[in-house]
Amino acid sequence: MSLQLKALNLGLRVMAKPYLARVTKPARLRADMEFWSGLLWRAAPFTVSLPLALGGRPALSIRSGRAHPGAVILHFHGGAFIAGSPATHLPMLSRLARLARLEVIAPDYRLAPEHPFPAALEDAVAIFDDLVSTGFAPERIVLSGDSAGAGLALSLLAKLCARGTIPAGLIAMSPWTDLTGGAPSLVLLEDADPMLVAGRMEEVAGYYLQGHSAEDPAASPLFADYPGCPPVLLQTSERDILRDDALRLEHKLRDARADVTVQLWPEAPHVWQMFDGWVPEARAALRDAAMFARKALAL
């Protein structure tokens, strides 16, 4: 573990975790996430981000340096389904775009509680279909996401596998896959996790589900089926309370004979990839994600 990561974990434990334990209004979380992302992170050199619309939703097209034509990474941002945006994740995604030498598209899907389940998934399907209609073949699209956005990407993948429009692969960074709260790591790692608060997860899921069953595979992709699943990269941490959301999904995908790569990072916080430029572990994880995307696309 780098000294930078030790410092980051300390800072998150002192500042971020108490904040997440007390913040109650989604609007406050959204505003604070936008503010701090703009203050803490900067895009990679030579980044160009352009607005576009897909599936009736705004999105950002992100490039940093030369991008391979005809292939793309479609990334769904995290934020517990109630916060986050393409702008909050632009710095991380610009680095991913630069390392992969690919265009990254980040859609602004609808958020809860104003737009509860299944609004985000409906957006994701419409966005993917619109992207295909613009000329990207499904096998030239790598799905990606972090935290709740990774769960959304996986829910989308399950639907695409069921109908046979299978993408090239999927990258899941610290995925939230089980909204029932059944992951043993929620209890086992509650004290070890430097950022997330296990006691708030049910409440946050409630904003999204609003009475809908958390056992629905479309809401909790851990329970979904993935026929003909493409290669999947799961990146999680030994200290993340959502660790077992990834590890249990790994077993399910392997049982389905999917090609799954799991990276279990020691000591890293939830979605540490966001801290590119601050800790070397973030850059290393993004480099692995970029290599995975290029391999899935046979580049």
* CA distances, 125 to each of 79, 118, 129, 132 (Å): 19, 11, 6, 11
Structure tokens at 33: 């996430």
169: β partners: 142
| Residues with a known catalytic role | 147
**Residue that is written with structure tokens 């590890």 in the block:** 247
Strands laid side by side in the 57-64 sheet? 47-54, 57-64, 103-107, 72-76, 141-146, 169-173, 232-237, 260-265
Tell me which DSSP letter residue 284 carries.
Answer: H
* Rounded Cα–Cα distance for residues 81 and 26 (Å): 10
Joined tokens for residue 60: 């950002």
| Angstrom distance (rounded) from CA 112 to CA 76 | 15
